[in-house]
Amino acid sequence: MFTPIVNAIAIVIGSFVGIFAKKGIPENAQKILFYAVGLSTMGLSISMILKSNNFLILLSSLAIGGIIGELLNIEGKLKKLGDSIKEGDFSTGFVTSSLLFLVGPLTIIGSITAGITKDGSLIYMKSLLDGISSIVLSSVYGLGVLLSAFSVLVVQGLFVLFASKLSFLTSPQYLNDLIATGGIMILGLGLKILDIKDTKVGNFLPALLIAPLLVYITGLF
């Protein structure tokens, strides 16, 4: 369980650096940072989506997960939390950073490897990357990025704790569609960051649980 703690601490440190640095960034520079983050997330999303094994899995996962998220009003709850602490971009920052830090092969393979073999080298490398990314993201979105450290701690902690039971997720059959599902959500975030369309990506978060389940079900036939 040491590896997810290190990763979470790296995000916390990076977030504080970004939050304090934000005060000294001119408005026009902050605007270009928004564009940089938005374009980068859209570029990353394309590479993730191309990993898909089955587009119907993606569509079904997002449809089912989106309906669940809409009924639970996940996006609304995140926005309400952000409003309560007067952090206008809280929900976007939290969802963006949580997805970027959690939906990827390094997270799943690294955490499960750490849990089974006690080798945390992949997560330590990821921690450095996440720490640097959190500086940029928090300078744009603030506290939402900081709170994503909790998401990383919980999700990666569960991967490490139940590594022997979740090792199937490291196979391309499951991993590729899970990453691609996250990629479509990240594409939606890019559209929102660039003020093209608010896609309420927070409500699609349950899709990340639905995708592996659908892969398993389709594998039975």
Give tens-digit pLDDT for 36-94.
888 888 888 898 899 889 999 999 999 999 999 999 988 888 777 766 765 557 788 88
Question: Tokens 């520079």 belong to which residue?
Answer: 29
Q: Specify the pLDDT at position 99.
A: 86
**Average pLDDT over the chain, rounded to an integer:** 86
User: Which pLDDT tens digit goes with each residue over 136-160?
Assistant: 888 888 888 998 999 999 989 898 8
**How many Cα atoms sit within 13 Å of 149 on the Cβ side?**
24
When computed from its CA atoms, the radius of gyration of the chain, rounded to whole angstroms, is 17
Q: Specify the pLDDT at position 162.
A: 87
What percentage of the chain has pLDDT greater than the value 90?
A: 23
pTM (2 decimals)? 0.80
CA distance 39 to 187: 9
Judge whether 7 and 156 are in contact, CB under 8 Å: yes
Q: Is the pLDDT of residue 182 over 60?
A: yes
CA distance 14 to 31: 20
CA distance 6 to 17: 17
13, 1, 5: which is closest to 152 by C-alpha? 5
Q: Specify the pLDDT at position 88.
A: 56
CA distance 15 to 145: 6
**One-letter amino acid for residue 196 of the chain:** I
List helix spans (H) across 50-171: 55-72, 74-84, 90-102, 105-117, 121-141, 143-161, 163-166
CA distance 127 to 9: 8
Q: Specify the pLDDT at position 96.
A: 86
Confidence of residue 5 (pLDDT cuts 50, 70, 90): very high
